[in-house]
Amino acid sequence: MLLFVDACLRDGSRTERLARMWLERRAYEGELRTVSLAELDVNPLEAVGPNTISAYSAAVAGGIYDHPMFEYAKAFARADEVLIAAPFWNYGLPALLDCYLELVCTQGLTFDVDETGAYVSLCRARRLTFVSTAGGAAPDPCDDHAYGKVRTLATRFWHIPQIEYVAAWGLDGPGADVEALLADAL
């Protein structure tokens, strides 16, 4: 199953268009499951309140993952491949994607810790592609906190061996040919 995590919140999103172009080129033949964050009620655990954090922590400690908040992590762990599409916002991720990733990073579902303290992946994915666009120029790599975070999670927690970054920059620049920039990103 290819899990498409769509963190594009605006109609006509150029990032979503680029992701769909990527999907078309990828020609994945298995099941495609789309998680549209704009349609979900995803919140940071700490903003929901102490009862949610307590319930989350107790569930993880007891290995009891029957609460609906764990469905995102379960689906992520089952995916053979993951595509994440997120516009580049203020040198980082859209807040909804950050909240979603917080729920996906669940010990006992997408990763665990062995007796030496090392992270062990519980995910099946062998490939993760991160698609992004921005109106401005490409950031210096050390300032790209969006892809940097996703890459770190994919390598440290989930041990996904193939990570691909597809990005189109400068889409709002003077004289920018948006279609050509999107095509070039692929």
Do the Cβ atoms of 33 and 75 come closer than 8 Å?
Answer: yes
Domains for the chain: give ranges and CATH numbers.
2-185 (3.40.50.360)
* pTM score, whole prediction: 0.93
Reply yes or no on whether the pLDDT at 45 is more than 90: no
What is the model's pLDDT at position 182? 96
pLDDT digits (tens, 9 = 90+) for 123-181: 999 999 999 999 998 887 777 889 999 999 999 999 999 999 999 999 999 999 999 99
